[in-house]
Amino acid sequence: MIELKDVSYIYPHTVQEALHDLSLVLEPGRCIMVTGPSGAGKTTLCLAACGILFHEYGGKKTGLITINGRDVSAYTGLSDIAKNIGIVFDDPEAQMIFTTVEEEILSALEYRGLAPEEIEKRLASIMDVTYLSALKDRSPHNLSGGQKQRVALAATLALGNEILILDEPTSELDEHATRRIVEILSGLKRQGKTLLIVEHKYAHFRDMVDTLVVMEHGAISAIGAPEDVLKDERIRKIVIPDFNGIRTCASMSVAPHSAGAASPVISVRHLSYSYDDVPALYDLNLEIDAGEFVAIVGENGSGKTTLVKQFNRLLTPTYGDVEIRGKNTRNCTIAELARDVGLVFQNPDHMFFADTVKDEIAFGLKNLGIGDDDAVIDAALDEVGLLHTKTLYPRWLSRGERQRLAIACVIAMQPAIIVLDEPTTGLDGDEARLVMEILKKLQVNGHTVVVITHNRDIAQYCADRMITMEQGRVISDSPVQVA
């Protein structure tokens, strides 16, 4: 059991409270799901609940935290707390220490003071529960996101603790991988484990959650049984993304498509691509017209990202051709294609390096020789609602804001085609809707928008057309039926 009573916390070298007067009880065998906007303090809550804030971070703390009835300060350190609690962080890659899946789990088991026979027994059981037996000799960094997450979970389960804390265990996973994680966690709950899960995908966890907690600005804004919490319409929109009406709202507010639409801006003919000897795309043919909003859906590894990387020649076709606005990509450089195609990657942190938000946007403009005109930068920031952050350090922004900044960096470069890889990853309902509204507005302003997503709601409520990929092939390509 974990109990937090009137806990407030300020990180070192900051002045703002990351947690404010927070009280929460995690009772044995129960499952609490914590959700809320990025920057609301969810991860800080996890760190507080397992004593990391107290023992590792410093900063200013008030209030009381007890783990299994004992004050967190009474534990000698994290290794002592780890006898009671297991935590899975949101970055599975950072939790892979060894070089095979089996070695990762076995090593975690070796430090529990168990007899060798017991270790072997538990290893087999954990591999079985987490569906990792077939992957035991694989190298962790060659696994898919879902598989890595299962390895991180398995290594934590190896500790044999009754309390598990999971920080966004499914944030970057597709439907299939998410369902598998939920299945594993449901099984653990049935075994009597106590779970504290930070998540945005309430719909997937609905059946196992006993208490739903919504956090905003470091404080709990709603807590209780899910059905009670979700009665509040404002809270409901944070918990469950609602893309309803985006198509209509955007169309009404901005001018209709410019004339000349319906000519293909992206033309893919007999495209095949292989990574060394491993085929990733097989004989793809498709055309995307100017002004279209296209959603590309499919499981991880289906070839979605490989396909869009051909649009700006980050990858060059092994066979076949890709034409962007009539130009064969084989005859263009990546820098030339960047004028036509703006690509926003899944993790915005892969691009930020400048000291201010303004400089970050100016970088792309300078690369294209557009000049870092303040008016262009202001317009791009205004478009995504970040004008007030112009002088801030990009990495200080919340995840949702960083995602919007990544979009602003691309908008400022004024490409005709904007491609986004999983733009709503790690965002709460409100933030995800905001991003999709921005994209819809861009479409109405004449841009062609291509979105890679696992979320079929995005395709259903925002896109005009849905392309479904599976194992490197397009298995369906059809207009979205508007309800």
Partner 1 sequence: MSEILQYVHKDGFFHRLHPFTKILFIIVASVMCVFVTSIPFLILMVVALLVLARISHLHREVIQQLKLVLLMSVVFIIITVLTMPNGTTLGYLIPQGVPFIGGAIAITDGAIGIGLILALRFMVLIFAFQLFLISTQPRDLVHAMEKLHMPIDYILMFILALRFIPTLQIEGQRIHEAQLARGYNPGTGMLGKIRSVAPIVIPLVSNSLLRSNVLGLTIDMRGYRTGIRTHVRERKFCTGDYAMMSGLVAATAGFVVLAIFASGLIF
Residues at the interface with partner 1 (CB under 8 A):
50, 52, 56, 77-79, 81-83, 85-87, 89, 91, 93-100, 103, 106-116, 119-120, 137, 139, 141, 155-156, 158-159, 309, 312, 314, 333-335, 338-339, 341-343, 345, 347, 349-353, 363-364, 367-368, 395, 409-410, 413
- Rounded to an integer, what distance in angstroms lies between the CA atom of residue 311 and that of residue 334? 9
Q: Write down the least CB distance from residue 111 to partner 1, Å.
A: 4
Question: Nearest-CA neighbor of 470 among 315, 303, 310?
Answer: 303
Nearer to partner 1, 164 or 294 (CB): 164
Q: Which residues of 233-245 are buried (b: 16+ CB within 10 A; e: fewer)?
A: eebbebbbbbbee
CB 296 to partner 1: min, Å: 17
CB of 179 to partner 1, least distance (A): 25
Nearer of residues 39 and 241 to partner 1, judged by Cβ: 39
Beta 85-88 vs 31-35: how paired, if at all?
unpaired
Alpha carbon 370 to its chain centroid, in Å, reads: 32
159's CB contacts (< 8 A; 6+ apart) are 82, 83, 86, 108, 112
Strands 60-67 and 70-71: antiparallel
Q: How far is the CB of 413 from partner 1 (least distance, A)?
A: 7
- Let me know the angle formed at the C-alpha of 375 by 372 and 381, rounded to the nearest 5 degrees: 90
Locus of tokens 């004989």: 283
Nearer to partner 1, 26 or 101 (CB): 101
DSSP-derived secondary structure for 70-139: EEGGGS-SHHHHTTTEEEE-S-GGGG--SSSHHHHHHHHHHTT---HHHHHHHHHHHHHHTT-GGGTTS-
Least CB distance from residue 257 to partner 1, whole Å?
25
Residue among 388, 384, 432 nearest 412 (CA): 384
Query: Residue 156: how many CB atoms within 10 A of its CB?
Result: 23
b/e map of 357-395 (b: 16 or more CB within 10 Å)?
A: bbbbbbbbbeeeeeeeeeebbeebbebbebeebeebebe
Q: How far is the CB of 30 from partner 1 (least distance, A)?
A: 22
- Label residue 86 left, alpha or beta by phi (over 0 means left) and psi (-120 to 50 means alpha): beta
285 or 333, CB closer to partner 1?
333
Name which of 71 and 110 has its Cβ closer to partner 1. 110
CB of 7 to partner 1, least distance (A): 19
Compute CA 463 distance to the chain's CA centroid, rounded to the nearest angstrom: 20
CB of 384 to partner 1, least distance (A): 16
Judged by beta carbon, residue 240 or residue 416, the one nearer partner 1 is 416
- Nearest distance, CB of residue 377 and partner 1, angstroms: 14
The letter for the amino acid at 407 is I
**At its nearest, how many Å lie between partner 1 and the CB of residue 262?**
27
Cβ proximity to partner 1, 93 vs 283, nearer residue? 93
Nearer to partner 1, 235 or 409 (CB): 409
- Residue 55 · residue 7 · CB < 8 Å: no
CB closer to partner 1, 88 vs 469 = 88
**β-bridge mates for residue 469, sequence order:** 474
- The amino acid present at 335, given as its one-letter code, is A
For Cα atoms 434, 436, 438, give the angle at the middle one, nearest 5 degrees: 70
Nearer to partner 1, 10 or 314 (CB): 314
Q: Which two tokens stand for residue 433?
A: 């809707």
User: Given the complex with partner 1, which of 116 and 260 has the nearer CB atom?
Assistant: 116
Q: How far is the CB of 324 from partner 1 (least distance, A)?
A: 13
